């Protein structure tokens, strides 16, 4: 069972329409496209009509998913964007600033890093170092 992390804390997964690989994505419909972290950036523009995209984080040290999320948002993706896998609480603010709406973690990580650690980083807009430097 997965735990979904949002700015409001832990929740359950409310997505009931299944997940498909990028190559199997239909032209339209209610589906979520699963993207690996090594997805080629030049293929992202064709996914901007998907209702939801879930990007895999195979390791907390693999930051390619943050780049993919930011590129999707710049390409015009308006749907739901989820990080899945080895994202830790310390990375939550980065995930939100990159364009993710939510993070999907397993119960083991949720036990190791309880909800209060994620909520501590949920005020991600007010603690943005780059925005403070620009302003």
Tokens of residue 22, six digits: 């990028």
- CB–CB of 65/72 below 8 Å? no
Query: SS3 of 21, please?
Result: strand
How high is the pLDDT of residue 45?
85
Q: Could you tell me which residues come within 8 angstroms of residue 72 by beta carbon, excluding any fewer than 6 positions away?
A: 44, 47, 48, 53, 81, 99
Which band of pLDDT confidence, cut at 50, 70 and 90, is reported for residue 30?
confident
How high is the pLDDT of residue 129?
58
Domain residue ranges in the chain: 1-9+50-104
Which band of pLDDT confidence, cut at 50, 70 and 90, is reported for residue 31?
confident
How high is the pLDDT of residue 74?
94
Which band of pLDDT confidence, cut at 50, 70 and 90, is reported for residue 111?
very high
- Mean pLDDT value across residues 96-100: 95
How high is the pLDDT of residue 135?
64
pTM for the full predicted model: 0.89
């Amino acid at each position: 069972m997965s735990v979904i992390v949002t700015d409001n804390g832990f929740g359950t997964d409310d997505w009931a329409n299944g997940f498909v690989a990028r190559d199997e994505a239909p032209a339209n419909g209610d589906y979520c496209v699963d993207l690996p972290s090594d997805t080629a950036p030049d293929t992202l523009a064709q996914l901007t009509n998907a209702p939801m995209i879930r990007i895999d984080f195979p390791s907390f040290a693999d930051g390619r998913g943050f780049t993919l999320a930011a590129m999707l948002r710049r390409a015009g993706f308006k749907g739901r964007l989820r990080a899945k896998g080895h994202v830790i609480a310390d990375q939550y603010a980065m995930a939100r600033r990159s364009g993710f709406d939510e993070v999907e973690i397993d119960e083991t990580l949720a036990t190791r890093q309880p909800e209060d650690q994620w909520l501590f980083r949920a005020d991600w807009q007010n603690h943005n170092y780059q925005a403070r430097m620009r302003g």
